[in-house]
Structure 1
């Protein structure tokens, strides 16, 4: 009995020692204008464990219009169109507590439609215990604030101490940062993959307001500055 308990304890130590990988934003659900030539979707992977991980990935196309294409850029390489597996010779290395940015690109070829993908990131040495599925949904429409689905818009990292990002798609034109009493303390031109610097702002709660090209508000999200 004692030996059995020792074995269980050892296995538990191994399992928790390996750590886990998290991603943000979550969910990743982007709507963009169908005329966007290249929809770039950035997300972060964070090593929540205590050991360095060496990540490779494989991608599953759940659904995608036949004329669409995609490609993935990780820390080591930008891969070919529609390549669904990364090079195990060039893994993404993430030390404990650190993050990397992965860029997923969709080329909708000026067509309306919906696509969904799943990218499985796994550690080369412990693929069964250290892995995460990152689902991605992409929708293209004819640009109009009235029919723009805002559910996928999110701000990340949140909280933050220096910068934030927004998975804007292509229909957001400007981004304002306002205080809880409505005072505007920051304004940015929206860019796909953009970093928005709030280093100079005091710690506290702010609101990120997304605006279209006409200046109409699309969505407001809370942001904490540490």
Structure 2
């Protein structure tokens, strides 16, 4: 069975906006891409974020990688405009000239190992101004239906959320076997959870607008599927 990983890259700004004005992502503040993980040991999942350096003079840009959540057996690596580095390299720098366009890449190598999620933070800053930082947070979320909960094999459609984006409420379609749910934010932090009845709508009026993940669980507390929810 193929395994589906949904990969999210969310860019977070530091409180000091001076550096955010110096470094501009050319595709906006978020990237949302879906990958099929086949179990191939050598498979590479990567995301490219093109950006422009808007500084007035040539400087060294430093990047640092922090692995916050990770699956044993997986590996990750970073590529900057100069080189693609080995997984053990956690920080490096490169020279950036005014108006320079370049890409930063973060790679995930699952190595054939199944896993739930990963969160990697890439921090960038001017070598001469280390307090002004720019954060890229990469989320790998496994949205696979496990073999023990393979609904499609029983002729049941995969669960989906609607409406999505949601206002004050959302519903779950194809909700057979869903006994409870948990909502987490883009940091992987628990927001709230509850038991689920197929006849009820889920109230999210108290949530701030943004991106969330909804984990659907069965009566054995096993995850059936993890789905994205956009709150208006």
In the superposition, the TM-score normalised over structure 1's length comes to 0.48
Q: Which has the higher contact order (CA 8 A, sep 6+)?
A: 1
In the superposition, the TM-score normalised over structure 2's length comes to 0.47
Higher strand share: 2
